[in-house]
Amino acid sequence: MVKIGEKIPDLEIDAYHKGEIKKIKLSDYRGQWMVLVFYPADFTFICPTELQELAEYYHEFKKLDAEISSVSTDTVFAHKVWHDISPAIKTVNYPMLADPAHKMCSEFGTHVDSEGLSLRATFIVDPEGIIKSMDIHDNSIGRSAAEILRKLQAARQVSTYPGNVCPAGWKPGAKTIKPTIELVGKI
């Protein structure tokens, strides 16, 4: 299973993207930020709300040189049908990755063996393929695209300004912290 600070595996996976079924390698995204959004299954209740909200924020992620890819254990054909018939999913313009063999979900530690599905999980990966943020939680809790975007912005900030850290609730334009020995005694 991948961990924070480790390079993600270079998997090749089927994807439904912009009306086409294609193969995508995770290394295709080297040189840009990547946000991998794992979810349990197509045709469910929370998943379309999350994927639609991410689609609404997609242009904000693209401005930060980041690609979003959603991932579930469904087939690429299920993704296509869902995209064709669901008004919420029709708004999705980012790649929808298909992992019916559960290889990617297993590598990323999101697979629930007893259900054959993925947990709800988000990974932010830097341009070198290193995991900078991961959030895995129960499938009954939906995510916020705005919070995922904020975490990406924070990851980019500390990448651009090494040695700085972003405090709780940090947003672009706010001050960062440069940890020092002197500062430790004031906390």
What pLDDT, on the 0 to 100 scale, is given for residue 129? 98
| Res. 91: pLDDT tops 70 | yes
pLDDT at 184: 57
**Residue 173 tokens, joined:** 């334009």
pLDDT at 181 over 80: no
Q: If you search the block for the tokens 């904020």, which residue do you land on?
A: 150
Q: What residue ranges define each of the domains in the chain, with the CATH number in brackets?
A: 12-162 (3.40.30.10)
Query: Using CA atoms, how far apart are residues 138 and 119, in angstroms rounded to an integer?
Result: 6
The pTM for the full model equals 0.94
Model pLDDT, residue 172: 94
Are residues 40 and 118 in contact, defined by beta-carbon separation less than 8 angstroms?
yes
Q: What is the mean pLDDT of the chain?
A: 95
**Per-residue model confidence (pLDDT) at position 92:** 98
Q: Which candidate, 95, 103, 145, 117, places its Cα nearest to that of 2?
A: 103
Task: State yes or no: pLDDT of 159 exceeds 60.
Answer: yes
Task: Give the model's pLDDT for residue 185.
Answer: 56
- pLDDT digits 0-9 by tens, 92-126: 999 999 999 999 999 999 999 999 999 999 999 99
Q: Using alpha carbons, list the distances in angstroms from residue 9 to 12, 126, 165, 178.
A: 9, 13, 27, 32
Structure confidence at residue 182 (pLDDT): 59
Q: What is the pLDDT of residue 179?
A: 87
pLDDT at res. 180: 80
Given 34, 36, 47, 54, the catalytic residue: 47
pLDDT digits (tens, 9 = 90+) for 41-77: 999 999 999 999 999 999 999 999 999 999 999 999 9
Residue 47 annotated to the active site: yes
Distance linking the first and last C-alpha atoms of the chain: 35
Q: Compute the average pLDDT of residues 136-154.
A: 97
Place of tokens 């469904």: 74
How long a stretch of residues is the chain? Answer: 187
- Separation between Cα atoms, residue 126 and residue 20, nearest integer Å: 26
